Structure 1
Amino acid sequence: MNKICIIGVGLIGGSFALGLKKAKKVQTIVGYGRNENNLKQAQDLGVIDTYSTDITKALSAVDLVLIATPVNSFQSIFEMIKPHINSDVIISDVGSTKSSVIATAKEVFGTIPENFIPAHPIAGKEQSGVIAADGSLFEGKRVILTPTENANTQAVVSVSELWEAIGAKVEIMSDKKHDDLLAMTSHLPHMLAFSLMDYLMESDSNALSYAAGGFKDFSRIASSDASMWRDICINNPDEITKHIKGFQQSLDKLSRLIKEGQAQEIEALFAHAKAARDDWLNV
C-alpha cells in the first residue's frame, strides 16, 4: 500500500506500524490523534512517518485507515471519518470486541460498509503507549478477522496480507464466536487479575508485602490499561458475565472438595489442569 493512517498511535497501533515498516509493506504511515505531543513522540521514535491532528489531512489519499483506540470511542471516530472515506479506502480496527464494533459501524454508516474489515490481534503487553510499541509484537500471534457477509473479498485479502507480512497468523471467524472465545481466554483472566488485586487490598493492604513470584505472575495483567478494559467490559457484557458465572461454579466445586477433604479429587483436578497447560505450552 502507498499510504495508511493509524488513528490512535499507542502500543497496538504503533506496533502494527513498526511491523509494516520492518516488512517494507507501506510507503507512508500517517498518525492521527488529539494529543500532538504523543504524535510527535511517535514520529521521533520512527513509528510513523508523519502526523496530523486534522482528520481531513490525515486521511488524504490513504489506502487504509486502522482504528486503534478504545472501543468506546468507535462511534465518534466512525462519525468523524465518514465524510472522508470512499469505497476504495479500507477501514479496519484492532478492537478486543467485535459484535459491538460491527453494530456501531452499522449505526453510523446506515449499513455495514463493504470495505470495513474488523480485526483483533491476540497480542499485547501490560505496558501501554507508543513508547512500548514493538515491531515484533505480532510475530507468531493470531489475528482474527470477522468480516461480515457483504465484505469485499479483496479488502479481506489485503488486510490479511498486511498482518501476515508482520508475522501474524490470520484466522477468520464470526464476530459472535470471537466474542465468546475471547471472553474466556482474555477477558476473564483480566477480570480475575483485577478482582484479585481488589480483594487483597480490601482484605489486608499489607498482604502484598508477602507476595512472591507466583502472585506476581498471576497478577501481571492487572497492570493493563484500566480504561481499555472498562470499555471491553461495557462492550462484551453478556459473554464476560457468562464466563464469570461459569468460573464461579468451578471455584465452588474446588471449595467443596477442599472443605470435604477430598484429597484424591483435588489432586486429580490439579493434575488435569497441569497436563492441559503443559500440552498447550508445547504446541
Structure 2
Amino acid sequence: MWARCALPALRRCGKSWHDGPRVKLAVVGLGLIGGSFARALRAAGQVSSIRGYDADERQRRLAVDLGVVDAAPGSTAEAVADADLVVLAVPVLRTAEAMAAVLPALKAGAVVTDVGSTKQSVLADVQAVCGALPPWFVAGHPIAGTEKSGVAASNAELFRNKRLILSPHAAQDAGALALVRGLWESVGARVVEMDASRHDAIFAATSHLPHVLAYAFVDMLSRLGDAEEIFANAGGGFRDFTRIASSSPRMWHDIVRANRESVAGLLEQQIAELSELLGLIRDEQWPALQARFERARNAREQHLAHIE
C-alpha cells in the first residue's frame, strides 16, 4: 500500500492555478463544505469536471440535480478514478474510511486534501491508512460554514474573505501544497499555514468549545418544566447565542471526539470560571461581577477592531 502512497504529486507546469479550467475535481462527501467548494471552483473557472460521492444516495442525486457535480457515481472509486484533486469532505472520524476507499483508485499524480475541523486526528488517520504520511496529502480547514448542512445549503460564496488553514507536514510535497493553496485562493479564501497541534488548540477554544456550550445550554433549557414558555419568549440574544446549536450533532460529536483533549481542558477551565461567577452572584459581589463583564466586553471589542 505504501507504494501507492508514494505516487508523485501534481506539478504546476509553470502556469498559474488561475489560468482557467484545468483540474478534474472529485469530492467525497457532498455536504455544505464539499458542495460549496465544488460550486466555488466551478464559478472561478478552475475545474474541467466535477464528480462526487456521498454515502447518502439522496445527496448524490440532489448534487447532480443542483449542478454541484457533473456526475455522482455509486462508489468512491468511480468518483475519484480520473481526478487530479480529491477533496475529503467527510466527518473527521470517517477520514480513515474515506482515505482507504480513495487510495486504490487514485491515478498517478493525484493530490488529496481534506476540510476537517481537526488536523492532528486527520493526519494520524491518513498515516494509519498509508503507512506514512504521503507527500501528496494536504491537510486543510476552511473557517467558514453555517448551522445548515447538506448539499442543498451549499453556496459558491461561502469561502470569500474567509480564512483557510493549511497544516503542512514533514513529508509535504511543495507542488501539492501549491495546488491546494492556489485553488482556495481562487475562490476568495485567505490562506494561512499553521502547525496541526496549534490549529487544534486554537479551534478548540474558538469553535469546538462554543458548540459544546451552546448545545449544553439549549439542552438544559429544554428539560426545564416551563421550557415551552421559555422558548416562546426568547429574543434576539437567545437566538444569537444558540444559533450554532442547530449545527449537525453528528459532525460536532465527531469533532469533539477527535479533539477531546484540547476541548476537555478548556471545558474544565470554563467550568471553573462559571463557578467563580456563581460565587460572585451568591455573595452579591456586584462590582466584581460587573468588572468581569467589562473585561470580557473590552476583549471582544479589541478583537473586532483588530480584524476590521
TM-score range, shorter chain: over 0.9
Could you say which residue in structure 2 is the equivalent of 1:188? Answer: 209
Distance in 1 (CA, whole Å) between partners of 2:299 and 2:40 is: 32
Could you say which residue in structure 2 is the equivalent of 1:30? Answer: 51
Report how far residue 87 of structure 1 moved: 5.2
Q: Does 1:232 align with 2:285?
A: no
Q: Does 1:149 align with 2:176?
A: no
Distance in 2 (CA, whole Å) between partners of 1:58 and 1:219 is: 37
- For 1:173, give the aligned amino acid: M
**Structure 1 stretch displaced more, 115-124 or 74-83:** 74-83
Instruction: Give the 5 Å matches for 1:116-195.
Output: 116-195=137-216
CA offset digits 1:198-224 (Å, max 9, x no partner): 111223333322322211110111000
Report how far residue 118 of structure 1 moved: 0.8
Distance in 2 (CA, whole Å) between partners of 1:208 and 1:35 is: 33
Alpha-carbon contact 2:28-2:76 (below 8 Å) kept: no
**Number of residue-to-residue matches in the alignment:** 283
Report how far residue 40 of structure 1 moved: 2.0
Could you say which residue in structure 2 is the equivalent of 1:4? Answer: 25
Q: Does 1:255 align with 2:273?
A: no
Instruction: Give the 5 Å matches for 1:34-183.
Output: 34-86=55-107, 88-183=109-204
CA offset digits 1:66-108 (Å, max 9, x no partner): 0101112112111111212255111111111111111111111
- For 1:263, give the aligned amino acid: W
Unaligned runs of 5+ in 2: 1-21
Distance in 2 (CA, whole Å) between partners of 1:262 and 1:34 is: 55
Q: What TM-score do you get using the length of structure 1 for normalisation?
A: 0.96
The 1:164/1:202 distance shift into structure 2, 3 A limit, reads same
What SS does the corresponding residue of 1:27 show, helix, strand or coil?
A: strand
Could you say which residue in structure 2 is the equivalent of 1:17? Answer: 38
Match of 1:215 among 217, 238, 258: 238
Distance in 2 (CA, whole Å) between partners of 1:62 and 1:267 is: 57
CA offset digits 1:123-163 (Å, max 9, x no partner): 11001011100111111111111121110011111101111
Q: Does 1:201 align with 2:222?
A: yes
Identity %: 39
CA offset digits 1:155-178 (Å, max 9, x no partner): 111101111111111111111111
Alpha-carbon contact 1:87-1:115 (below 8 Å) kept: no
Instruction: Name the Cα RMSD after superposition.
Output: 1.4
Q: What TM-score do you get using the length of structure 2 for normalisation?
A: 0.88
Report how far residue 259 of structure 1 moved: 2.1
